Amino acid sequence: MLRSSRLALSAPTLDDVAAITAECQDEAIQRWTTVPSPYTRADAEGFVREVATPGWEQGTSCTWGIRMGGPLALGASRQAGDAGSAGASSGSRGAGAGSSGAGAGSSGAGAGSPGAEAGSPGAGAGFFESNSVQVGPLVGMIGLDNITDGAAEIGFWLAPGARGLGVMSEAVGLVCSWAFAEPGPGRRLDHAPGLQNGQGLRDGQGLGSGQGLGNGQGLGLRRIEWRAFVGNTASAGVARRAGFRFEGMHRLAGVQRGIRLDDWSAALLATDPRTPVPGWPPFTFARLGSEARGASTSRVERKRRRL
């Protein structure tokens, strides 16, 4: 589990299926990620069973459900400049990191939240195991896909009721900090009872169930990539505030439900500052008064197209 003073990130389980199903009916999530449309309960169950859980076990992806675990209630007032912002990435997952649609992969829907900097998880942020802490229901998904050779792709989405509070910026900060943290000495996590997920990922290692993740040691990544379909300015805002550097627009590089679309890409290196940097084109910024967007999907999800 990854925690800040108000958020708890933990692997999605079958207990989250109803929430995932309901939240993936959102228009922004379906518009900006690769989740199936229409989205059914079977899609959510498939995502948990066949994408999120195997990803942890095989060490190919890490998917977390975003849960409110601190003093900030979802009904709190929005900060100035922070209203709306959906934020799903086109990365590829819709609701989870994996690839089936509800995953994080895609950077996208509902991520937004201009008021908080993604690079700063907030007071009390850290990685530690805390299974006894009571947290609220799932309000979003975030994950890392295609974990290989020191790199991964981030994706995310957020439910409408949690948008505009800086939630996704905070979650992105937590995940990136953990992903860049150095792994522990070569223990095989999938064969180390009691140590699962407490150390980082080495080649050929799994991450168990993802439920015990913590203890301050991560994946030792060097690069995290963000991708979103062109027009997803809310997701771009989250990436920009986290310190990601814009790398370009790619013609017909993304696939959403069998249709090729242009996408944007950006990346954050382990050595980069976690603050906004220049270089993002004006068209990646939300226009004043425009509808908040935000969901991002990952490449893995694009392939599977089902949550």
pLDDT in tens, 46-90: 999 999 999 999 999 999 999 997 654 454 444 433 333 345 565
Residues in the chain: 307
Q: How many domains does the chain have?
A: 1
pLDDT in tens, 276-290: 999 999 999 987 544
Using the predicted structure, report yes or no on whether residue 153 has a pLDDT greater than 50: yes
Closest Cα partner for 8 from 136, 111, 118? Answer: 136
Is this structure's pTM higher than 0.85? no
- Note down the domain range covering 45: 2-304
Using the predicted structure, report yes or no on whether residue 16 has a pLDDT greater than 80: yes
Angle between helices 167-180 and 233-241 in degrees, nearest 10: 50
∠ CA 205-239-113, nearest 5°, is 120
Which CATH number fits the domain that encloses residue 40? 3.40.630.30
